[in-house]
């Protein structure tokens, strides 16, 4: 399933948002002959560079606001994933009857390669990166892109510009991107897991899941769906969409003809009914039992794209994980420092905390996303020596957890919070940044937060 390869000559494309995805969409639109008008309500250095790039391409860029009338006159409106569904510009366009598509949909229309799309609440970046790695290890030209972040891969619009195209594209796709699709269709779709998230941007968890379900909007009999066989919400998500269900699970052996599972400590692939042992779970160079599930999902997706099982096994042994995802960044004075800044919701933080085999001082905080932190109480009681609550959410963290575990509230800077965690930790402990919140109260993104934590962990100054 590949895109439509549209001709945009003589047309105008309006792009809302000028971060990485928006700027990439502008580049793709200009490459196909469109006039471009891009705008962003922000006017900081991050978007100023995007605006400069748009202008250098021959497009028009506006910072500090949106000209809604001008956007409404465009032939096509493309929205970056960072724009909230209730953003005033989108509400006003809706009142005018103007439809828009996501950058994901826009890019897909120009892709000349089949697509593996990876979504879910947690683990999707690791699974997408691992799938691309396994394909390359099998000698298959695969390009990683989408929502993975610039340090791992480009926005999908830039992948669509690659000449010659790759054999496969692997894309991480978010609920925000899926909300704005029309023709987008994955040859292989992966859903890692589902749990409440982004409740600061969605009115309900059902609305969040509904956008995830857009993955199956254009399903066909040839579609292959790699689904978490241990997650009832994931199994319900496709409904009656056509295509073959291919399940992965750690605690049981799925009955699907194509499956990935663990048997007596060994990862196994089942393809057209034939079983292929891969490697022992203990051989995976990834921290945390949740990464066994990510490995199963990635291995199954890669196999469905043509990777040979023996090459997949070698690729699994050689994958070293990703920054900001249970990343060991320092060991100092008998204390291990682990950066799990990507844990931006409760379920991700729960996984990170449960992975600890030593007493942990856990940094929780950032921008509150609407979930109760009391959900973390059981795993914190088992694995944490103390919690350091910081950032905009610190009062919520303290209120929800103080009755269950020792909580030290820090109302100062992030550096103050890290210093307090170091004061509380003892030799043999772990200091774990697994914040259960977004980073936007103090940082531009979770990567910046993770880098700052790593600097401090290595002895950097505040």
All structural domains of the chain, each given as residue ranges with its CATH number in brackets, are 12-99 (3.40.50.720), 106-317 (3.40.1190.10), 327-457 (3.90.190.20)
Q: State the CB neighbour count (10 A cutoff) for residue 349.
A: 27
Percentages of the chain per state (helix, strand, coil), in multiples of 5: 35, 20, 45
Going residue by residue through the chain, which has 462 residues, state the pLDDT in tens, using 9 for 90 and above.
555 556 899 999 999 999 899 999 999 999 999 999 999 999 988 799 999 999 999 999 999 999 999 999 999 999 998 898 889 999 999 999 999 999 999 999 999 999 999 999 988 988 999 999 999 999 999 999 998 876 678 999 999 999 999 999 999 999 989 999 999 999 999 999 998 887 778 889 999 999 999 999 999 999 999 999 999 999 999 999 999 999 999 999 999 999 999 999 999 999 998 999 999 999 998 877 888 999 999 999 999 999 999 999 999 999 987 789 888 899 999 999 999 999 999 989 998 999 898 999 999 999 999 899 999 999 999 999 999 999 999 999 999 999 999 999 999 999 999 999 999 999 999 999 999 999 999 999 999 999 999 999 998 765
By the 8 A CB rule, do 76 and 37 touch? Answer: no
Q: Which of 281, 302, 279 has the alpha carbon at shortest distance from 290?
A: 281
The H-or-E segment that residue 328 falls in is strand 327-332
pTM of the predicted model as reported, rounded to 2 decimal places: 0.83
Residue 322, pLDDT score: 78
For 445: left if phi > 0, alpha if psi spans -120 to 50, otherwise beta; the answer is beta
Main-chain dihedrals φ then ψ at residue 108, nearest 5 degrees: -55, -35
Sequence-ordered list of residues with C-beta below 8 angstroms from that of 54, at least 6 positions apart, any chain: 15, 18, 23, 26, 36, 38, 60, 61
The helix/strand/coil state of 385 is: strand
Residue 320, pLDDT score: 80
> Which long-range contacts does 47-55 make (Cβ < 8 Å, 24+ apart)?
47/18, 47/19, 50/18, 50/19, 50/20, 50/22, 50/23, 51/18, 53/23, 53/26, 53/27, 54/15, 54/18, 54/23, 54/26
The helix/strand/coil state of 62 is: strand
By the 8 A CB rule, do 175 and 208 touch? Answer: yes
Residue 325, pLDDT score: 87
The Cα 80–Cα 39 span in angstroms is 11
Residue 151, pLDDT score: 67
The Cα 127–Cα 226 span in angstroms is 11
Residue 254, pLDDT score: 97
Residue 229, pLDDT score: 98
Longest dimension (CA), the chain: 66
């Amino acid at each position: 399933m590949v895109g439509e390869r549209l001709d945009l000559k003589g047309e105008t494309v309006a792009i809302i948002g000028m971060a990485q995805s928006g700027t990439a969409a502008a580049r793709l639109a200009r490459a196909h002959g469109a006039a471009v008008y891009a705008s962003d309500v922000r006017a900081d250095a991050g978007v100023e560079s995007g605006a400069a790039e748009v202008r250098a391409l021959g497009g028009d860029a506006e910072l500090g606001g949106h000209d809604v009338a001008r956007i409404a006159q465009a032939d096509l409106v493309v929205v970056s994933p960072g724009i909230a569904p209730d953003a005033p510009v989108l509400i006003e366009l809706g009142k005018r009857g103007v439809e828009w598509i996501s950058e994901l949909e826009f890019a897909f229309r120009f892709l000349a390669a089949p697509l593996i799309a990876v979504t879910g609440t947690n683990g999707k970046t690791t699974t997408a990166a691992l799938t691309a790695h396994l394909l390359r290890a099998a000698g298959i030209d695969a390009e990683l892109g989408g929502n993975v972040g610039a340090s791992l891969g480009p926005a999908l619009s830039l992948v669509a510009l690659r000449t010659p195209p790759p054999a496969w594209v692997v894309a991480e796709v978010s609920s925000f991107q899926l909300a704005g699709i029309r023709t987008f269709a994955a040859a292989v779709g992966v859903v890692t897991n589902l749990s409440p998230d982004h409740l600061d941007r969605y009115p309900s968890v059902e609305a969040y899941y509904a956008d995830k379900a857009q993955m199956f909007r254009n399903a066909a009999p040839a579609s292959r769906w790699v689904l978490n066989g241990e997650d009832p919400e994931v199994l319900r998500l496709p409904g009656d969409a056509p295509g073959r269900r291919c399940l992965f699970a750690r605690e049981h052996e799925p009955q699907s003809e194509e499956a990935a599972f663990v048997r007596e400590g060994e990862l196994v692939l089942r393809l057209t009914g034939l079983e292929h042992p891969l490697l022992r779970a203990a051989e995976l160079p990834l921290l945390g039992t949740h990464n066994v599930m990510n490995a199963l999902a990635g291995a199954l997706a890669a196999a469905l794209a043509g990777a040979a099982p023996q090459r997949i096994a070698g690729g699994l042994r050689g994958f070293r994980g990703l920054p900001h995802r249970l990343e060991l960044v320092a060991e100092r004075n008998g204390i291990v420092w682990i950066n799990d800044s990507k844990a931006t919701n409760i379920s991700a933080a729960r996984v990170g905390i449960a992975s600890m085999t030593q007493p942990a001082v856990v940094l929780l905080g950032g921008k509150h996303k609407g979930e109760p932190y009391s959900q973390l109480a059981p795993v914190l009681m088992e694995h944490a020596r103390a919690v350091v609550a910081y950032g905009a959410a610190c009062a919520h963290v303290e209120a929800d957890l103080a009755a269950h575990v020792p909580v030290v509230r820090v109302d100062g800077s992030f550096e103050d919070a890290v210093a307090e965690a170091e004061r509380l930790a003892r030799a043999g402990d772990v200091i774990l940044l697994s914040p259960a919140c977004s980073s936007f109260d103090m940082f531009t993104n979770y990567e910046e937060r993770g880098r700052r934590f790593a600097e401090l962990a290595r002895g950097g100054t505040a």
